[in-house]
Chains A and B, each alone.
Chain A
Amino acid sequence: MALLELRNVSKIYHLGGEEIRALDDVTLDIEAGEFCSIIGPSGSGKSTLMHILGCLDSPSLGTIKLDGVEIQKASASQLAHIRNRKIGFVFQFFNLLPKLNVVQNVELPMIYSGISGKERRERALKALDMVELGNRLKNRPSQLSGGQQQRVAIARALVNDPKIIFADEPTGNLDTHTGEVILELFRNLSRQGRTVMLVTHNPEIAAVTPRRIEIRNGKIADRVDTRLAGLDRLAAAAAKSAAATAAH
């Protein structure tokens, strides 16, 4: 059983009576421990896919299973709970809280999981050590460089020991060299056995991951995955026709 299972997922927006399919019938499996990138030009639907995979949004159609639990019907607060326990986010613009210092920023997810102050501090320090920022605990995000800020964000994503980490253009706001360092960090996380999803429009960055999922016009246009998706679709069609025959 895959960690994430998407079956015929669509996301439909209605703009002035016109129907826009940001995601169109996507079927996708992501196994635990995979290091995978979602790639596509802007407007292709890759952000929408990430939002749905990351439980920030719910699909309009189709089913999605995370860790064996169906979540397409989950309420906003249930999704918040899932995000808190099972998912870590790293954003292009770091998205740290400017009023909190480094440790407090890393502690933030644990505040919402009801972990005691002492344990919060311990785990935050451990996560910060992992990204080699153990010496900048009391700094505000504004006092750090972009690379350091992104590492704080990675520590924050790791601190609740999530099942899967999403990184949305994590190097998009960094220079090439710092970007390399951050990518290396993700590679290390993957080597440690974590599931990492990299969302990018840059094929060079996508090249570091063993698996690439290409999105075009809301559909998966990937060579590796077409096979799987196609098989699934064939299986679904077979099941459907079988059911239809049985009905007759």
Chain B
Amino acid sequence: MGLWNAIAVGFKEIWAHKFRSLLTMLGIILGVSSLIAMSALVEGMEKGSREALVAIGGLQKFRIETQPVPVEQRHLRDFATGVTLGDVYAIQNNSPEVLKISPEMRLEPPPTVSANGKNLRTWSTAGVWPVQLEMMEHVLEHGRCFNEVDDELARSVCVIGTGIRDELWGDPEETGKEVIPLGQTLTINGSPFTVIGMFEHYESDQDRKSRLLRKAQEAERLAKGLTNAVTGPKRMRGWGGNNRRGGFAFWIKNNTVYVPLNTMWIKLLSGQTNTPSDKRLSEMEIKVRDVNKLELALSEIRNVMMVRHRGIEDFNVRTQEDWAEQINVFISNARLSGGLIAGISLLVGGIGIMNIMLASISERIREIGIRKAVGAGALDIFVQIVVESTVIAVIGGIAGVGTSYGLIQLIVAFTPTDNAPIVTLGSMLIAFGASAVIGVLAGLFPALKAARMNVIQSLRYD
């Protein structure tokens, strides 16, 4: 019997038992669609994490921060200075692998920033050098950054992110008009500062797309002469979806206030330090020339630091590699566990097919006998049963690929994420291929059983 004949017979058999076949397929449909949906979700997460990694400066960058003195050096605690501005100069002068170095003096706890009659706790308010903007991949959209003169004279000027503007002067998305607060005054812990620059609005691809879409829809509505319906105040959805727009990394960047380092030191931190000769930093960010020589740069810097700190390890070097590694581990774990669950559901679907094929051949014993009597060989019967089970699985696989779209929509509707799921062709092919393979495997045992049936006995069977 030709393969086409076998496939035609398979379709006929499925059509003859529509409901039974549909139920059998359901297992495969769910397995395939959950496999695709899972991979799409993980893919989306991965893309989001990579974007965030780039947004904070990539692998070339690392950070040195103060840490408590380790237990074995407790007796040297009084000599521990933490990371200081002196360290920054020392590294700058002694480590050729360093491209940029940027000290950061943060106000801890975060200060209250007020303007326009409103108050706000920022995520981070820091005194920095202008180089920090390059370091953190900030882009100034309005105004200017403070320069060396501002730093030297400790002028009360600041550069802010759009998140600060949104809170104090209003979000353009909500008020409909964009406020650029250049020249306005805000107070940090009560001290007045002049806003001289503002960064652009940072957001993930996904957020920008949805924002532009919203805007386009709005414009369309206006063009049609419709006005905004009054819908009442916006409500939080409570699942962490909306309050931190654009992912954590972007949110942090938007909620930043930078002032000159000297200003921070003199006007905001005075009286809080016990080492007036060397300005204490909360951390420093370092970028190396060549990411491939990261190890060399790290050891250089470590040597400089150890000499300056007289062997006291009151500092900690933190690379983004750790984070990148964490992302990779997390992604591969998510992929593995999701794949395992989806794979198990595919397997269950396969067992369902095997079950139904066994039932099917035992109610077709006589048919098999007749086919054999008129000349069907064991191989013909075997192929017919395997093809039937494969046809069920393949139809289920195709339907599952279709259903996966709906399933993803459903998951997104129930648990909104910042990272839109990405369906890849590869995952579809793998899931579809897996369904076909499972169809063949599920058919093997019933087919073998059918092929081995004795002609005479099956002809007499009632």
Contacts and interface: CB of A to CB of B under 8 A. Distances in A.
Chain B's interface: helix, strand, loop or mixed, by majority? helix
The 5 A-B residue pairs whose C-beta atoms are closest, nearest first, are: A84-B375, A77-B377, A80-B377, A109-B374, A112-B375
Contacts of B373: 56, 83, 89, 95
Nearest to A109: B374
A80 B378 contact: yes
Contacts of B378: 76-77, 80
Contact of A83 (B1, B16, B374): B374
Given A51-B456, A83-B374, 17 more contacts: A56-B373, A57-B456, A77-B377, A77-B379, A80-B376, A89-B373, A95-B366, A95-B369, A95-B370, A95-B373, A96-B370, A111-B5, A112-B374, A112-B375, A112-B377, A114-B1, A156-B374
Contacts of A84: 374-376
B346 to A, nearest CB: 30
Contact of B377 (A81, A97, A109): A81
Interface residues of B, number: 22
Interface in A69-124: 76-77, 80-81, 83-85, 89, 91, 95-97, 99, 108-109, 111-114
B12 interface: yes
28 contacts: A56-B373, A56-B455, A56-B459, A57-B455, A57-B456, A76-B377, A77-B377, A77-B378, A80-B375, A80-B376, A80-B377, A81-B377, A84-B374, A84-B376, A85-B375, A89-B373, A95-B369, A95-B459, A97-B367, A99-B16, A108-B371, A111-B2, A111-B5, A112-B374, A112-B377, A112-B380, A114-B2, A160-B375
Interface of B: 1-2, 5, 12, 16, 366-367, 369-380, 455-456, 459
A163 to B, nearest CB: 13
A235 to B, nearest CB: 32
A76 B458 CA distance: 14
Give the one of B16, B366, B379, B455 with max A CB within 10 A. Answer: B455
A77 B379 CA distance: 8
A101 to B, nearest CB: 11
A52 to B, nearest CB: 10
Give the one of B5, B370, B374, B378 with max A CB within 10 A. Answer: B374
A89 B373 CA distance: 8
Contacts of A114: 1-2
A114 B2 CA distance: 7
Interface of A: 51, 56-57, 76-77, 80-81, 83-85, 89, 91, 95-97, 99, 108-109, 111-114, 156, 160
A125 B379 CA distance: 28
A84 B373 CA distance: 8
Contacts of B16: 99
Contacts of B376: 80, 84, 112
Give the one of A57, A77, A113 with max B CB within 10 A. Answer: A77
B456 A108 contact: no
Give the one of A84, A111, A160 with max B CB within 10 A. Answer: A111
Contacts of A51: 456
A83 B375 contact: yes
A190 B13 CA distance: 38
Contacts of B375: 80-81, 83-85, 109, 112-113, 160
